[in-house]
Structure 1
Amino acid sequence: MAKEIERKFLVRNDSWRQNVTSQTSLRQAYLSVDTDRSVRVRTSNNHSAKLTIKFGSGTITRDEFEYPIPHEDALEMIEFAQGNVIEKTRYTVDYHGFTWEIDVFEGAYRGLVIAEVEMQSETDQPRQPEWIGREVTGDRRYSNQALATERLVPERVHAISH
């Protein structure tokens, strides 16, 4: 079992784009959700896919199981999505020993940009780039699960912090 340890932030500007190290188009759908667990299917760049199961309601740390699955199966599973299918492009930026993942949302949440940094320990203190805005770790309104399964809220789409 793997542990997911991450912090999440809104993004204040586009200056991160000059340091991008990778780019991946993602589509993800939640197949089952509860307050402390979820089952998600995600496709990457229209050719690979993973099934992810997460447990826990912790703010920073959750148990995570992830398995590659056939892309065709994922496309069929997406048809069973609860709520919205999340569409986004994920960019990575390396900054002072940490890899930041910047999600630029499309579709229903076009305009929303969120950065996440995965850590080895909850006590890690990653240095924050100047383009990082307000921290939203633990604010479930910005969790992918909530974005996919709860009613669309216009403020979320235009919540880029200055």
Structure 2
Amino acid sequence: MEIERKFLIPQLPEHLEQYPCRHIEQGYLCTNPVVRIRKQDDAYFLTYKSGGLMAREEYNLPLTAEGYEHLRPKADGLLITKKRYCIPFGTYTIELDIFEGELAPLILAEVEFPSEDEANSFTPPEWFTEDVTYSGKYHNSYMSHHGYHPEA
């Protein structure tokens, strides 16, 4: 079970270079249910996600580089690229996603939780702004087909 909250970030925090950074490329083979392929640095995954906003089932399966390259042209919509910084925050890790290409200049922060109670009681840092957890338009699977339109 994946339980996460998602927030818009209007401005990058200082000293990002001190945190681990992953380079991610991902595409969607299906969006209902979500079936995703992802290249994260030198690792490859096939992921299934059920419906839902804050809490949903998620299964990650290892994929070979060859399997990823075979499935990559079959992805529908945009191939999403982003840099993900992993920033410690108390007992949690903030996953700060800086989108590139057609989804730039979007910056989102995600925080995963062991329970819905913890997710609901979470107090975000001051540099987080709007909580978009319950807006499906910030799901990567949605943006892969509809893009990012801040004015919408």
Q: Provide the TM-score with structure 1 as the length reference.
A: 0.86
Matched, 1:131 2:137: no
Gaps of 5+ in 2: none
CA distance in 2, matches of 1:128, 1:16: 17
Q: Do the aligned partners of 2:95 and 2:109 also contact (CA within 8 Å) in 1?
A: yes
Q: Which runs of 4+ in 1 moved over 3 A?
A: 16-20
Structure 1 gaps of 5+ residues are: none
What is the CA-CA distance between 1:117 and the residue it aligns to? Answer: 0.2
Q: Which residue of 2 aligns with 1:83?
A: 77
In the alignment of these two chains, the number of paired residues is 150
Considering only aligned residues, what root-mean-square deviation do their CA atoms show, in Å? Answer: 1.8
One-letter amino acid of the counterpart of residue 147, structure 1: M
> Of Structure 1 and Structure 2, which has the larger fraction of its residues in strand?
1
TM-superposed deviation, 1:52: 0.2
CA displacement, residues 50-104 of structure 1 (integer Å, 9 cap, x when unaligned): 0000112x22110111111101211221111111000001111111211010000
Contact 2:16 2:85 in 1 (8 A): no
Please state if 1:96 is matched with 2:90.
yes
- Alpha-carbon contact 1:16-1:93 (below 8 Å) kept: no
Provide the residue aligned with 2:11 in structure 1.
13
For 1:60 and 1:20, locate their aligned partners in 2 and report how far apart those are by CA, in whole Å.
29
